[in-house]
Amino acid sequence: MLVLQRAAGALFIVALSASLRGAPLQNLVTSADAIVVGDVQSRIESGSNTSFQLNVQRVLTGSPPSVVPISHDWGTTGSLSVPEAVAFQAYGIWFLKHNPVSGSWDVLRAQAKGKNLFASLYYPLSPAAATSITVQGPPNTVVEPLAMALIQSAVNASGSPEFVLDALGSTDSPAVRTALRDLLANGSSRSRAVAMAALLVRGDDGAAASLESVWPTISGVAEVADVVAALRDYYRSTTSQGIGALIGIAQSAAVPAAVRQAAVWALKSIHTQGTLPFLASLLDSDDGSLRLAGAIGIAAFVNGCPAQGPSNMPSLAFLKCAGTQWATAETKAHFIFKASTPADEAAQEAFWKTWWLANQAAIVPH
Amino acid sequence: MKGVFSTVVAAGLLTCTALWSQCTDQTTLENITDNVIRTGGNQVFSFSQSYVTGDYADVWTVYAAAQITLNGNALHSGSDTEDSGNTAEVYWYDALSTTGPGTFAEADQHRFTNPCGTNDYYTYNDRSLTVSKPTLTGPNNTTSAAFWYLNGAPSIDGYYVQWGPFTANPNWPGQNPTVTWSTDTPGKLMLTVDPSTLTATATSTGASSNNSGTYDIHITVSLDGFNSDPFPIYIDTPYGMTTSIAGDSCSSISRPDPGYVTDVSHGIYDLIGYTLVPITTNESLEKIQLINGYSSNNSNWNLNIAQGVWDPGDWITVPSKFIDNLWACGSLTPTPQSYNESGTNAVVNETQKFWVGSSSQFSGTCTQRGVVTLFTDHGAVTPYYTPITNQGDCAQGTVLN
């Protein structure tokens, strides 16, 4: 019996499944013919397929039978070449796809984590959260209740609640924000970290403003890496509150250097007019990485570059700049957007320091 | 009458009052030509002439002078005096690649004298020519561009290895000149030109230098050597990875104990340091072997390990990363144990390389290489090397274990 397997197999499943693997909640709800709460007690698993009976406890959408036989191909060339029985109870939300020709049912893969793992086929859910889901209206209205249930499940999740972060995707609403804030206030340390990351991704200024005070309660868990990543790569608020929160984090002694650096990175990437005084102050820092961040941010503003964020990462649109009233041949010649050689960095930093002194009054009137 | 190139400023019958009984008749004409004209994509011709035609032309003395300025600054000055029917002239050919663009203006003076006492003097300053450089613009009139190099792999998941069209404007109204396209970094960028539309598409064949803090690749259009401003381009590439490890129980993957799960999270960053959003990535696994005294005689751990492809749907989007799960659960020999990252009983190892931007093995940009070791109680990736500054380090067959 061979049960050692590395996930993420090399082969594609059928086109439909391939396109949906790891899709967050919104896509799953759109694609599923039925959404149910149910459990699986055991399964047969091989390198290319898993089959099991899903006991439906609650139908959220669609009309599946009460016991759904599932045969799910996952196309791995992994090591489970000999089918084996696995006894393990799996309880949660399942997204089902019906084949109208054969009459059979399959499951849509719910989670990106663990590509060829049975655990990726559903979202684990607490029984209390399962009963709390209220479905009214057409299937697309189930997204928010499901999101709320997942967030509620995360409060007391025994394992990592990180899957909630990915499941929510871009799902956002006042109710979701409230639920995430509740999780941030009342969840376990791991759940609080996930909630903080989710709120930062949504540009929640209040969450950013509270990061410094929340930090001691989340600093010891693995999910804190998600918080740092969310702050650095996703939080792009341009409000005065948001920028003020970032500046506060960047200057805080209560958070580690990695968090301060993430805040500086975010400010550099945002580089709106409101960030400039802080970015300019970095030009006087003894820390070369901070001086560079200051120069990069000011140069991006003056040369009219869009803010950098996940949405324009593939297109690199943040490097396709349109200029501003302050852009000149000289500012273009001193455009710097990444680390280079020490001499070059020093030259650019000196230029932008001089430039700022000459132009700050016009940009940030007192 | 003063035309574009030629001016006849006087004609008539004059009376000789000295040694000459006659210096003109009705055929005698004083002529002036002057102008600043563009005679080629890279050439401006400025000139001033004075001459007399008709009967008695050979008794006249003619004088021509001119001063040429470019953007108000003196460029040329000269004069010439001729007699015996010859033409007094001054002229200059200027290469725009030397002078640069701008407004060429001419001031010119002309004198016509003859023995009969004529002394006609004319001045002009109404000749000028404004020349602009050819220009080059990117799509949507952008003035800089950035796109990707995936080590020869084609565009994927919105990460484009081609960009364009770039459009040339010769800025020479009424003309249809030959436009030449070039790049200062031919090893990293290839241009496909459509002469009929004065457009070109750029394809990356290499990435920007990691030592450059800004756009370090340029394309230029030229009219016989009169060049546009260089159009700045940055060719980004996946560069390195962030790797972190977390341990868990078999129940976390819906499998029974005993055993462990090691989640290896990988993020990818580019030359600038930005985190890439999901992009198809594959791994190559080489030299998969039992180690530490284990063989097929005392181990049934499988060596037929699946090589992974993570397409965007396999990524966790927030934050952007994919997870390589290393796990051993169930009744194996040797028996897997609960997660303990300090364990030393290694069973299997292999060389692992990650290739970004392709689902085909050994295709895409290699961003990390290392050794994966499966212990009885945890999985590990050590050592590993990132960023990859020389793609040759990831060549097939180059193993680390």
pLDDT band at A151, cuts 50/70/90?
Answer: confident
Which pLDDT score is estimated for A356? 97
Q: Is A21's pLDDT higher than 50? A: no
Q: Which of B138, B148, B256 sits opposite A87 (nearest CB)?
A: B256
Residue with the bigger pLDDT between B19 and B225: it is B225
- pLDDT of B9 > 70? The answer is no
Q: What is the pLDDT of residue A163?
A: 82
The count of CB pairs under 8 A between chains A and B is 229
Q: Does B314 touch chain A (CB under 8 A)?
A: yes
And the tokens for B293? 């005294």
Q: Which pLDDT score, from 0 to 100, does residue A80 have?
A: 53
pLDDT in the model for residue B215: 95
Chain A: nearest CA to B211, how far in angstroms?
Answer: 5
State which residue of chain A sits closest to B249, comparing Cα positions: A159
Contact A338 B311 (CB under 8 A): no
Chain A residues with beta carbon closer than 8 angstroms to that of B101: none
Residue in B287, B269, B276 with CA at minimum distance from that of residue B367: B269
Specify the pTM. 0.87
Band (pLDDT 50/70/90 cuts) for residue A138 is: confident
Q: What band does A81 get if pLDDT is binned at 50, 70 and 90?
A: low
Q: What is the dihedral of CA B184, B186, B189, B193, to 10 degrees?
A: 90
Q: For testing the chain B interface, which of A1, A6, A199 should be mutated: the one with the most B CBs within 10 Å?
A: A6
* Nearest-CA distance A62 → chain B (Å): 25
Q: Among residues 98-137 of chain B, which lie with CB inside 8 Å of chain A?
A: none
Residues of chain B neighbouring A4 (CB-CB closer than 8 A): 301-302, 305, 327-328, 332, 348, 374
A87: which chain B residues are within 8 Å (Cβ-Cβ)?
A: 256
B254 interface with A at CB cutoff 8 Å: yes
Q: What is the mean pLDDT of residues A277-300?
A: 97
Is the pLDDT confidence value at A136 over 50?
yes
State pLDDT tens for residues B184-233. 999 999 999 999 999 999 999 999 999 899 999 999 999 999 999 999 99
Give the Cα separation of B307 and A50 in Å (integer). Answer: 19
Residue A194 pLDDT more than 70? yes
Is the pLDDT score of A8 beyond 50?
Answer: no
pLDDT tier for residue B16 given thresholds of 50, 70 and 90 = very low
Strands (E), A33-136: 34-45, 49-61, 67-73, 84-98, 105-107, 123-124
Smallest CA–CA separation between A335 and chain B, in Å? 6
Query: Is B276's Cβ below 8 Å from some Cβ in A?
Result: yes
Kindly provide the residue ranges of all beta strands, DSSP E only, lying in A120-271, ordered along the sequence: 123-124
**CA-based nearest residue in chain B for residue A117:** B253
Per residue in B149-185, pLDDT tens?
999 999 999 999 999 999 999 999 878 888 999 999 9
Identify all chain B residues contacting A339, using CB atoms and an 8 Å cutoff. 213, 273
Q: What is the pLDDT of residue B17?
A: 40
Residue A319 has pLDDT above 70, yes or no: yes
Instruction: Confirm or reject contact between B338 and chain A (CB < 8 A).
Output: no
A305 DSSP assignment: P
Q: What is the pLDDT of residue A15?
A: 25
Nearest-CA distance B379 → chain A (Å): 10
CB within 8 Å: B313 and A20 = yes
CB contact under 8 A, B319 and A24: no
Other beta carbons less than 10 A from residue A176's beta carbon: 19
Q: How far is the alpha carbon of B141 from chain A, nearest alpha carbon, in Å? A: 9
Cβ(A297)–Cβ(A271) below 8 Å:
yes
> Is B234 in Cβ contact with A10 (below 8 Å)?
no
- Partners of A77 on chain B (C-beta within 8 Å) are 304, 306-307
* B143 interaction partners in chain A (CB closer than 8 Å): 321-323
Return the pLDDT at A11: 24
Distance CA B12, CA B25 (A): 6
Q: Are B166 and B184 in contact (CB under 8 A)?
A: no
Give pLDDT, residue B20.
58
B1 has a pLDDT exceeding 50: no
Q: What is the ipTM of this complex?
A: 0.86
Taking Cα atoms as reference points, which of B228, B1, B215 lies closest to residue B100?
B228
- Nearest chain A CA: its distance from B127 CA (Å): 30
pLDDT band at A169 (very low <50, low <70, confident <90, very high): confident
**Contact call for A159 and B315, based on CB within 8 A:** no
Inter-residue contact B352 to B266 (CB < 8 Å): no
**B contacts of A310 (beta carbons < 8 Å):** 275, 277, 320
Mean pLDDT (chain B) is: 92
- Statement: residue B60 has pLDDT above 70: yes
Q: A366: distance to nearest CA of chain B, Å?
A: 32
pLDDT, average across residues B225-254: 92
- Of the pLDDT bands very low, low, confident and very high (cuts 50, 70, 90), residue A20 is very low
B130 CB-near residues (< 8 Å, 6+ apart): B102, B103, B104
Q: What is the average pLDDT score of chain A?
A: 87
Check whether B138 has a pLDDT greater than 50: yes
B271: chain A residues, CB-CB within 8 Å: 338
Q: How confident is the model at residue A348 (pLDDT cuts 50, 70, 90)?
A: very high
What's the mean pLDDT in B113-132? 96
Residue A208: the pLDDT is 98
Distance from CA of A228 to the nearest CA of B (A): 9
Q: What is the pLDDT of residues B304-337, one digit of tens each?
A: 777 889 999 889 887 899 999 888 888 889 999 9
Return the percentage of chain A with pLDDT > 90, whole number: 63
pLDDT score for A178: 93
> CB-CB: which of B211, B306, B327 is closest to A77?
B306
Q: Which of B211, B265, B277 sits opposite A310 (nearest CB)?
A: B277
How far apart, in whole angstroms, are the C-alpha atoms of residue B215 and residue A333?
A: 10
Contact B161, B203 (CB under 8 A): yes
Which of B159, B243, B263, B314 is the best mutation test for A, with the most CBs of A within 10 A? Answer: B314
Tell me the mean pLDDT in the region B101-112: 98
A110 by Cβ neighbours in 10 Å (0-12 / 13-18 / 19+) ranks as buried
To the nearest whole angstrom, how far is the Cα of A5 from the nearest Cα of chain B? 6
Judged against a pLDDT cut of 50, whether residue B71 lies above it is answered with yes
- pLDDT for position A158: 62
pLDDT tens digit sequence for B273-306: 999 999 999 999 999 999 999 999 999 887 777 7
Q: Is B326 in Cβ contact with A320 (below 8 Å)? A: no
**Measured torsion, CA atoms of residues A298, A300, A306, A312, in degrees rounded to the nearest 10:** -120
In this predicted model, what pLDDT tens digit does every residue of B80-97 receive, in sequence order?
A: 999 999 999 999 999 999
Contact B275, A233 (CB under 8 A): yes
Interface touch A3/B252, C-beta < 8 Å: no
Name the percent of chain B lying above pLDDT 90. Answer: 81
In this prediction, residue B304 carries a pLDDT of 72
Residue B7 has pLDDT above 70, yes or no: no
pLDDT of A110 > 80? The answer is yes
pLDDT at A87 over 80: yes
**B211/A165 CB distance under 8 A:** no
Of residues A26 and A113, the one with the higher pLDDT is A26
Question: Of A253, A252, A278, nearest to A267 (Cα)?
Answer: A278
- Number of Cα atoms under 13 Å in the Cβ half of residue B256: 13
The single-letter DSSP state of residue A223 is T
Residue A82's pLDDT is 64
- What confidence score (pLDDT) does residue B65 get? 98
Residues of A in contact with B166 (CB under 8 A): none
Q: Which residues of B touch A116 (CB under 8 A)?
A: 306
Q: What is the pLDDT of residues A33-54, one digit of tens each?
A: 999 999 999 999 887 889 999 9
Q: Please tell me if residue B274 touches chain A, with a CB cutoff of 8 Å.
A: yes
pLDDT at A4 over 50: no
Nearest-CB residue to B315 (from A5, A112, A313): A112
